[in-house]
Chain A
Amino acid sequence: KAGVTQTPRYLIKTRGQQVTLSCSPISGHRSVSWYQQTPGQGLQFLFEYFSETQRNKGNFPGRFSGRQFSNSRSEMNVSTLELGDSALYLCASSHGTAGNTIYFGEGSWLTVV
């Protein structure tokens, strides 16, 4: 069974640009969640989608947004990039009900210059 797939794996963007990251969950999983990992702040929760609806949202500015499609694939978008947005962005999927194991993708490494 294929795991959680994130694309692209590595990317470099310039301040002020926007970026879209993609996540394909494990087949049958309806929950997709996104996390940011930086050396200074560690892992932080961005948002979670379940059946195309945002179920939970972390404490990030409105520049960070996401969506989920009917096939459960998800995208997150960061607009007006800042240097501090440089991070590893991780996506995870699960069935979305209590007691389910969560599976992480390998992440997308974003560098903002």
Chain B
Amino acid sequence: KNEVEQSPQNLTAQEGEFITINCSYSVGISALHWLQQHPGGGIVSLFMLSSGKKKHGRLIATINIQEKHSSLHITASHPRDSAVYICAVSLGGNQFYFGTGTSLTVIP
């Protein structure tokens, strides 16, 4: 049983395309995080959401608490956006259930 479902698993886009990654979860959460992982292992937290929408540069994250669904959008994608994007739901503190990740490749 997967508490967090993420789609798609793999995504290839041309530079400049608009990208959407989806995350659905089945448990009650205190917050949802979008994480970015580059080859080599390091993880960066992009967003933490408990409601509504947040925007950082070309990245936008939304969450619908009633529908238990979140999306990460990348506008005007760039090759440097190539990474694995992971949805993580917090049960409290830093105890997370993680999605399986979306591997994004942006081709110049």
Contacts and interface: CB of A to CB of B under 8 A. Distances in A.
**Does A associate with B in a complex?**
yes
Interface of A: 31, 33, 35, 37, 42-45, 48, 50, 55-56, 58, 88, 90, 92, 94, 96, 98-99, 101-107, 109
Contacts of B43: 90, 92, 104
Interface string B16-52: 0000000000000011010100001111110010100
Contacts of A103: 45
A102 B30 contact: no
Given A90-B43, A109-B41, A102 B86 contact: no
Contacts of B99: 42
> What band does the interface of chain B fall in when counting residues whose beta carbon is under 8 Å from A?
20 to 34
B100 A42 contact: yes
B108 interface: no
Contact of B45 (A42, A43, A98, A101): A101
B85 interface: no
Nearest to B33: A102
A16 to B, nearest CB: 26
B29 to A, nearest CB: 12
Contact of B41 (A96, A102, A106): A106
A55 B94 CA distance: 9
A92 B94 contact: yes
Contacts of A58: 95
